[in-house]
Structure 1
Amino acid sequence: MGSIQERNILVEKVCQIYDKISKLETLKPSKDVDTLFSQLVLTCIPPSSVNILTLPKDIQEIRSKLIRLCGEAEGHLEAHFSTLLATFQNPLHHLDVFPYYSNYLKLSRLEYDILSEHCSAQSWPPNRVAFVGSGPLPLTSIVLASYHLKETTFHNYDIDSLANSMASCLVAPDPDLSRRMIFHTTDIMDVTDELKTYDVIFLAALVGMDIVEKLKVVQHLAAYMTPGSILMLRSAHGARAFLYPVVEPQDLRGFEVLSVFHPDDDVINSVVISRKSPMNSNIAHKHHHHQLGINESIIPSSCKYCEFQMFNNPLNHMIEELAVDE
């Protein structure tokens, strides 16, 4: 009875916050935007037994709209800081202006370590990596290219030409990264044979705002990725599913799921790592749980960096960092 009451309280609070967010005139960084999204994240972070699939249809619809609002707000936040960074002569020397840069450093280190565990000696380090949904501030690609995969070429895909233009401006002054960071303005669903050339493909959390859209992308990747190549994507668990779509291992037809990690701290996203199966989809599907049992042990018991809160006083941090820089 207690868990049902807790679930009802949680859902009611999320709906109240959604109602306020939906009435905002803009989702660009501001005090009101920051406050509401901070409240939302703090509400959804605590471990919860809530099963999103069992919630009433009207709550499901609110969740779907809320995920899209979160995506829009994150996009505005990244665009804001990408514009700010572009004002510096060497933008990559000032990435710490972005308030969550240290989180990206930790996240990228974790993903690098996990990738190195799953790649064979023959395929490590990867020669070509694709990041789908790179956005105007492609920090994951930048950090991995700068500190971990220093010989790898990164192909960044985004459907928004303005986002790619902003991102390109950040790396243009750097002679090394400008050579190894390539930006493609296209819908990933229109990319076919090129997908066969990548050793690793990252799928951003905001590519596919609901599970139907996301799985269309995943199945497209499964159709064209080379067997043995790696797909890394993010999911959500419990109440955190109000913030991001949920991807279950059994959804990844055509891939062998290597590991899934559900954080229980202030990290928002779960992490799903899979390998394009050399087998047909049905056979690969039968092996998913077997793969999980074998490989979950390599994941740290407490992972704080798989994803991070994006709405913690960004404007205050920006002002502080600019004061230091000056």
Structure 2
Amino acid sequence: MKGLGGLYNHLQSLCATAEGKLERHHALRILHAVECSPTTADTKEILFTFPYYKNYVDLCRLECSTMETFLPTSTPCSRPVLPRRIAFIGSGAMPLTSYCLLDRYPEVAAHNIDRDIDALQISRDMAACIGYAKRMTFACEDVAFDGSQDPFRKQGEQRGFTHTTDWHDYQVVYLGALVGMGNAAKFAILTSLARKLAPGTLLIVRSAYGLRKVLYPELEISDGLLRIGYNVLAVVHPFTRVVNSIVVLKVKDR
């Protein structure tokens, strides 16, 4: 089993590297098209040609449908009260989930967090090209650290990313599939987030199931999540072309 775990880790690392390079390449392609022909370049059409675009749309639809089940309502039979601000941790160079959320929820603002400053710069330029800039913010942070201890925040400030994350502003927080390469790393991040997030905040964690763990690390469901400050509301394993599983957590009252 130790050998199999090592193989999983190696393949997941390759997948993370390849996915990051693919997103960066496609984002730069869009930016180049706009730079060469700013009046005729159809950035949305180029975006739609991204190989995994439909997969992200399907995954986001599944996540939102699941999430809305647990949002508060004004009366038992009324529609859920939709979040106004959503944060995505591990947004990368092409924050496709944030785009999907903004399309689905016209009143929502998306906050994109990554510790890769170059990826953040590309994604900020992309938001301006595609027309999402007014509803998106960006922060260079490592969520495993607290405040001034974060070694990435200063680097971000030097590049103009002065927006820092006030975690109590967000009703829903996403944790990207490749944030925390392994269960122990994910638990460390979730432990840090539990101290920062307001009680009642929903956390959408992307995980994996079965052989799909070859591509993405799994968040193991255990009593440990309860001990560090979460209630587990739902675990969804899609048996479609959508690869990621979904774990919905809620920050407990302190």
Q: Using structure 1 for the length normalisation, give the TM-score.
A: 0.64
In structure 2, stretches of 5+ residues that fail to align are 35-41, 75-79, 148-164
Residue 239 of structure 1 deviates from its aligned partner by 2.1
**Aligned amino acid, residue 99 of structure 1:** P
What letter corresponds to residue 244 of structure 2 in structure 1?
A: N
Amino acid corresponding to residue 209 of structure 1 in structure 2 = M
Residue 99 of structure 1: aligned partner: 51
One-letter amino acid of the counterpart of residue 95, structure 2? P
Letter of the 1:184 counterpart: A
How many angstroms does 1:82 deviate by? 0.9
Q: CA deviation at 1:159?
A: 0.3
Asked if 1:172 is matched to 2:131, the reply is no
Q: CA deviation at 1:93?
A: 4.8
Q: Secondary structure at the match of 2:33?
A: coil
- State how 1:123-142 maps to structure 2 within 5 Å: 124-142=81-99
Q: Give, as a single letter, the amino acid of the residue that structure 2 aligns with 1:58.
A: G
CA distance in 2, matches of 1:102, 1:238: 22
Number of corresponding residues = 222
Equivalent residue, structure 2, for 1:224: 196
CA–CA distance in structure 2, aligned partners of residues 204 and 182 of structure 1 = 17
Equivalence map 1:100-119=2 (5 Å): 100-119=52-71
SS of the aligned residue for 2:166 comes to helix
Residues 22-45 of structure 1 deviation map (CA, whole Å, 9 limit, x = unaligned): xxxxxxxxxxxxxxxxxxxxxxxx
Partner Cα separation in structure 2 for residue 143 and residue 88 of structure 1: 22
CA drift at 1:230? 0.3
8 Å CA contact retained: 1:91, 1:171: no
Q: Which string of whole-angstrom CA distances, capped at 9 and with x for unpartnered residues, describes residues 238-286 of structure 1?
A: 222222222122242311111111233443222111111115xxxxxxx
1:159 and 2:115 are equivalent in the alignment: yes
1:271 aligned onto 2:226: no
| Displacement after TM superposition at 1:144 (Å) | 0.9
Alpha carbons 1:260, 1:272 under 8 Å: kept: yes
| TM-score (norm. length: structure 2) | 0.81
- Seq. identity, %: 35
Q: Normalized per residue, which structure has more helix? A: 1
Deviates more, 1:161-170 or 1:101-110: 101-110
Alignment of 1:184 with 2:139, yes or no, is yes
Aligned partner of 1:172: which letter? A
Aligned ranges 1:250-269 → 2 under 5 Å: 250=222, 251-253=224-226, 254-269=229-244
Aligned AA (2:23): E
Matches within 5 A, 1:10-159: 55=1, 57-89=2-34, 91-121=43-73, 124-145=81-102, 147-159=103-115
Change in Cα spacing, 1:263 to 1:106, as seen in structure 2 (3 Å) is closer
Q: Is the 8 A contact 1:199 1:230 kept in 2?
A: yes
Q: 1:101 to 1:265 in 2, by over 3 A?
A: closer
CA separation in 2, counterparts of 1:171 and 1:265?
Answer: 30
Sort the Cα spacing of 1:263 and 1:93 in 2 relative to 1 into closer, same or farther, 3 A.
closer
Residue 191 of structure 1 deviates from its aligned partner by 5.1
Letter in 2 for 1:87: H
CA pair 191-155 structure 1, distance change in 2 beyond 3 A: farther
